[in-house]
Structure 1
């Protein structure tokens, strides 16, 4: 809940009821203490919800009878406990001295957390103050150890109960983003390591507390799980229009708490682990790793329409969170891409999604700052939207992000990983619009695809993916796969973009897996996966198999450059073109020089052809790269050109310098393993090797080294980087200029490339 939202009349009544109940309980319990003989040095304390005046109808009383010793304490305890039990209230109680309470608190974290918020109801105020001061002193003195223990306790709780915001039937108290996390944040603040929850978190906490209160009232039970059949009654008690409004408000509140909690724990880790000077390390264009969080680089260009997505992608690819202050600054000051998006913004979005699970936290940070709905019109419609089908684990928006994260592991199985990732993000974008969500979503996806700047044919592919994302799983489970008409149904659906049928089929097969896995175990399993794979395989066999990428050819500019006597190097902006006598290893050494200058290869086209100058014919290679800086400003063109010429003259040890750089790099998050395929019958004059892998500095160089180590010559290459995914095709021949035909040699090539990328 946003801080500026006022509680409804229903919520205000619940808050008043809690305050009145706390006051009534205090008066009654105080009368039990003073209703008979009372010795000096005795105090009755409330802990837990009653101490915070948050006791809901199903909440337990938790009381501590504190004393300094002496006779009569047992009789006083009986005088308090028995009336409470007789009233039907559940009671957790203890009788302790200050030293005993401190000892138990040091040994039992949950006791310590309760005593941090203890409140005196009756009796000796000085004694109560003494205990509170002692517990706080112990908590702060042992903060490093206690906070580590508390962090483990929270992780275990989250693992057990999941994320409140995205669950169909969440536990309002114990799930991540629930009431317990706000109590934890207060406890962390008591250690003086961080500040306490802000106004937004307090407002979110109050909403969840009201929902819990209403749940206890309408059910007459103390459970904290908001199950489907209770939502309507709870919504009415709170004055909300319906259960969907309730669910969306709960999700919004839980996300605010979870986001604040994650940064509380990051700050705890930083302040309790950091020693000495904090390092700053570039991780992408405009982005710097500062003490385990990604912040804006000092020279970041906030007028660049791609800056927000570039910084987000850098954080996700590095497996790091975005610093809250950085997200706020981006939301307030950074330019956003217009329509259509520039290629850099689109690539950054794909790179962000391609980081897999590491993208989820970064996406959430952008969402909390209101950036996602500004970047993707239409997202507001699915944001926090509950699912109608209980088989779903998550709200619609989180399901979309989870599906994209799952799809990141499948990008090696498709020719266009960018379309898979964006299609996964949009596949349910039509939910809640009335009618068939696939049909409605296809129209939205068409508009968003055009907004993102995809080519017209690519937009049609995205539209087809969204329209038919359920085609394979529904057909495989409801139709007879052995019936030829079943396969014809699939092939007809993927024929909407002529020439790209096989590509669309592969995309739909991968999307079916990602969608099923992100939905939940009730929606996906071994049996369904096998049926979908079988149907996709039969449909693939019925198609032509698609057309391999065309062999790069020399254009007139290349021909002119190739006729230079000796070698030629041209650096113009982001385009680097090299012409030189062909020789083994030329491609990987040239790519290595670009990597040493911190240039990321976006595309590469290489061709080796026979030319006839005034002397006898010989082969000349032309390498045409498009490369952009990994971060910061591009290198000086003259320096880059000089190093390329040194490489051509064998005066630059590229391999050694690359190895030194590789050792200095920090690993990023886990990604799907690379895939290497020998494409049969794609060429009569060369062996075609296709490599699909997560892009990283020096990737093209490593592949080239592996090919060169087997004395293979690259006659042509087509390299494309889509977001953070590389799709590279190499046409190679042996030392005699012939394609490979020995199966053992082909297997060895594949194994060597995989080893080089491992």
Structure 2
């Protein structure tokens, strides 16, 4: 195959003497560009020899190829310029172009090409930003060098003549791109090129420098180092996946790390996150300095802190060594005025603020709380402090969570950004609690243990026993925040995995929380934490469950009894009415499917099988049966394709309830054609686990099963329960990425709890077999 030509180029670039694994990005790009130059020049000379012309013709490399940093599967951008008159182009220039382009296409390379007269190219530059920036880094390859020099020289002149227009256009394009793209530093699957803090941001600064944008020399060095890290990751991504692409997909990150010379995927993502955050901060700071400010806005904010030229600055008389809280005072002022801390002030703080290894200065905690209460306006300020290594001086325990990735299905942010987002969300919920200060501090520290080995909750609790007193908190407040750290997942887990209409569930939560004050703080923290985690971690369904759980628990903590609050999310009034008729009823409301039928062994399993058979994912599921012999089940489903043939699903559900469908055979057929889903977490869950929850219910035995999600797993698990002579009284099914966490409230056919040790062992064996 002719595509082997390009494969050989990639192999030569990888084996080039200058290409080391530690410098695979830039060195590989340079080597591949050099190898490609030789090949393209040879093709051009052959094309001209076969199609001689008296006209001047030149070939230029533009884009990434022009910069000499050609990624393995990026476009090969070439510009063929000439001075032929229009009527001569078809006869003398197009044959050369065709003889050049076709071998490149045949090689498998992606070609970006253009053929233009010199005056056409220059006219285009005057009105097109992409063409203008392309010429800024255009590189002569072969042909008439004088023609190429004329194009690049006049292109540069055009840029300088319109520098103000281009500078405005570059800034606008960067702003638009950042609004559409996630941060490279904080995203699970970063876009290395177009994300905020990606390669394009650095390139935009380089282009803008040609229009007079002032960039500090040290910043240029730092940007270049970060650019090299991102380019290394990009080249490794191309080599690993064998295709063009700027997004590092989770399932590829282990291989990318190995190809790029990182010790593992966590090290890769930590380096990319650190580079991305530096790029975004330096680029934003550089562009911010270029904005003209109204001097009339200058004013004093606090002693030693002023708003000057649209930024927060320290006065000359301010002394951060004598009053280290000035750093946090400046941060609060910046957040409240929705502006940045000036570069000069950040440099002063970096040079003059000493570490706080012991107790915090008087007033520092108050300033931190005030900053956090500013909500999302505080995040950019916290990033600035962190960029200048100030947060780790205030709090040495912060350093291990900086840029630490969370490579799983739920989290979209690094640990540090997740904590800031949680605190910002908590600031919007302070009207629900009596201690707003403890709410935002608890949100900031609830996952602080993730930077250290061991269970992050236990580690975080132990850490805060030291951190809290240093902040100046009294023992009561330290204890409250330790409880928030310990139980920050409690309400969420119980609401999604337990029957919250069961008295035992409410009594359990009330016993763990202890007071209404802590319950209200945990309720707000649950929402703040979930929203900071990712879009799949919070929704109306979960919000309703958490609200009801909190309400019932508050009643008990206030002195009432769980039995006094009669509430049940499922079955609701309509479902109970349908059950009272004794007839089969199948209905759908959006993504909720509800089935009512006479209770019979295997009913839940049959329904679960039909749902899976039609390619629907079970997000959550609940089951209920009454003493009159009726059963109800409800499935919240999602469709990977976004489509559902409800008429066919409903028809098959009726057949399944009559046991007229070969569910096992149908599922086996589907498994053969099932397309494996994308990996959405770094670590594959371990082997299946079955756990009996002691005291989990007042009237049933509670069994929890964790396993990797597979085709028909819910059908098989519930079938196994039926085979073991168990009736499902209540069930919750929760899918997290590629893992399912299923909880079943069961009784024997005689209506008894499962207390026999031997019976439990057999149930466990049956469930493990079904899950495998």
Instruction: Tell me the CA shift for residue 286 of structure 1.
Output: 2.6
- Aligned residue among 105, 111, 114 for 1:91: 111
Instruction: Tell me the CA shift for residue 128 of structure 1.
Output: 2.6
In the alignment, which residue of structure 2 is the partner of 1:310? 329
Instruction: Tell me the CA shift for residue 146 of structure 1.
Output: 2.9
- Matching of residues 589-608 of structure 1 within 5 Å: none
In the alignment, which residue of structure 2 is the partner of 1:254? 276
SS at match of 1:63: strand
CA distance in 1, matches of 2:301, 2:150: 50
Instruction: Tell me the CA shift for residue 222 of structure 1.
Output: 1.0
Instruction: Tell me the CA shift for residue 30 of structure 1.
Output: 2.2
Q: Do residues 167 (structure 1) and 187 (structure 2) align? A: yes
In the alignment, which residue of structure 1 is the partner of 2:532? 518
User: Which stretch of structure 1 is more off in the superposition, 503-512 or 95-104?
Assistant: 95-104
Instruction: Tell me the CA shift for residue 14 of structure 1.
Output: 4.9
In the alignment, which residue of structure 2 is the partner of 1:228? 250
TM-score, normalisation: structure 1: 0.67
In the alignment, which residue of structure 2 is the partner of 1:26? 37
CA distance in 2, matches of 1:346, 1:137: 55
Q: Do residues 208 (structure 1) and 269 (structure 2) align? A: no
- The answer as to whether partners of 2:125 and 2:132 remain within 8 angstroms in 1 is yes
Q: Deviations over 1:62-104 (max 9, x none)?
A: 1111122243222222232122122221111111233322332
SS at match of 2:448: coil
Q: Deviations over 1:614-637 (max 9, x none)?
A: xxxxxxxxxxxxxxxxxxxxxxxx
SS at match of 1:282: strand
Q: Deviations over 1:258-311 (max 9, x none)?
A: 11111122123x1xx447x57532233432222122121222122202111111
- Aligned residue among 186, 191, 199 for 2:206: 186
User: Which stretch of structure 1 is more off in the superposition, 25-34 or 234-243?
Assistant: 25-34
- The answer as to whether partners of 2:230 and 2:275 remain within 8 angstroms in 1 is yes
- The answer as to whether partners of 2:25 and 2:231 remain within 8 angstroms in 1 is no
- Matching of residues 245-644 of structure 1 within 5 Å: 245-268=267-290, 270=291, 273-274=292-293, 277=295, 280-302=298-320, 303-337=322-356, 339-495=358-514, 501-544=515-558
- Aligned residue among 63, 76, 87 for 2:78: 63
CA distance in 1, matches of 2:53, 2:424: 63
CA distance in 1, matches of 2:215, 2:144: 31
Q: Deviations over 1:555-595 (max 9, x none)?
A: xxxxxxxxxxxxxxxxxxxxxxxxxxxxxxxxxxxxxxxxx
Q: Deviations over 1:614-665 (max 9, x none)?
A: xxxxxxxxxxxxxxxxxxxxxxxxxxxxxxxxxxxxxxxxxxxxxxxxxxxx
In the alignment, which residue of structure 2 is the partner of 1:566? none
User: Alpha carbons of 1:60 and 1:418: their partners in 2 closer, same or farther (altered >3 Å)?
Assistant: same
SS at match of 2:319: coil
Instruction: Tell me the CA shift for residue 165 of structure 1.
Output: 0.8
Q: Deviations over 1:123-151 (max 9, x none)?
A: 33333333233333333333333333333
CA distance in 2, matches of 1:278, 1:125: 54
User: Alpha carbons of 1:8 and 1:448: their partners in 2 closer, same or farther (altered >3 Å)?
Assistant: farther
SS at match of 1:163: coil
Instruction: Tell me the CA shift for residue 432 of structure 1.
Output: 4.8
Instruction: Tell me the CA shift for residue 34 of structure 1.
Output: 3.2
In the alignment, which residue of structure 2 is the partner of 1:152? 172
CA distance in 1, matches of 2:163, 2:363: 45
User: Alpha carbons of 1:8 and 1:135: their partners in 2 closer, same or farther (altered >3 Å)?
Assistant: closer
CA distance in 2, matches of 1:459, 1:280: 40
- The answer as to whether partners of 2:356 and 2:393 remain within 8 angstroms in 1 is no
- The answer as to whether partners of 1:306 and 1:336 remain within 8 angstroms in 2 is no
In the alignment, which residue of structure 1 is the partner of 2:725? none
Q: Which runs of 5 or more residues in structure 1 are unaligned?
A: 1-6, 496-500, 547-758
Q: Deviations over 1:335-392 (max 9, x none)?
A: 4545221331111111111111111111111111111122112212211111142211
- The answer as to whether partners of 1:308 and 1:336 remain within 8 angstroms in 2 is no
Instruction: Tell me the CA shift for residue 215 of structure 1.
Output: 1.1
CA distance in 2, matches of 1:38, 1:317: 68
In the alignment, which residue of structure 1 is the partner of 2:569? none
CA distance in 1, matches of 2:346, 2:445: 24
- The answer as to whether partners of 2:442 and 2:481 remain within 8 angstroms in 1 is yes
Instruction: Tell me the CA shift for residue 404 of structure 1.
Output: 0.7
SS at match of 2:399: helix
CA distance in 2, matches of 1:490, 1:284: 45
In the alignment, which residue of structure 1 is the partner of 2:740? none
Instruction: Tell me the CA shift for residue 443 of structure 1.
Output: 1.3
In the alignment, which residue of structure 2 is the partner of 1:46? 61
- The answer as to whether partners of 2:25 and 2:228 remain within 8 angstroms in 1 is no
- Matching of residues 696-735 of structure 1 within 5 Å: none
CA distance in 1, matches of 2:374, 2:118: 52
- The answer as to whether partners of 1:469 and 1:508 remain within 8 angstroms in 2 is yes
Q: Deviations over 1:193-235 (max 9, x none)?
A: 2237511110110111111111111111111211111111111
CA distance in 2, matches of 1:457, 1:66: 76
User: Alpha carbons of 1:178 and 1:63: their partners in 2 closer, same or farther (altered >3 Å)?
Assistant: same
User: Alpha carbons of 1:90 and 1:274: their partners in 2 closer, same or farther (altered >3 Å)?
Assistant: same
User: Alpha carbons of 1:60 and 1:406: their partners in 2 closer, same or farther (altered >3 Å)?
Assistant: same
Count of residues in correspondence between the two structures: 531
- The answer as to whether partners of 1:339 and 1:453 remain within 8 angstroms in 2 is no
User: Alpha carbons of 1:41 and 1:322: their partners in 2 closer, same or farther (altered >3 Å)?
Assistant: farther
SS at match of 1:56: coil
SS at match of 1:378: helix
- The answer as to whether partners of 2:425 and 2:528 remain within 8 angstroms in 1 is yes
In the alignment, which residue of structure 1 is the partner of 2:27? 16
CA distance in 1, matches of 2:304, 2:119: 55
RMSD (Å) for aligned C-alpha atoms: 2.2
The structure with higher relative contact order (CA 8 Å, sep 6+) is 1
Q: Deviations over 1:518-563 (max 9, x none)?
A: 11111111111111111111222222399xxxxxxxxxxxxxxxxx
SS at match of 1:288: strand
- Aligned residue among 74, 77, 82 for 2:102: 82
In the alignment, which residue of structure 1 is the partner of 2:651? none
User: Which stretch of structure 1 is more off in the superposition, 503-512 or 152-161?
Assistant: 152-161
- The answer as to whether partners of 2:297 and 2:310 remain within 8 angstroms in 1 is no
SS at match of 1:289: strand
CA distance in 2, matches of 1:200, 1:378: 26
User: Which stretch of structure 1 is more off in the superposition, 428-437 or 398-407?
Assistant: 428-437
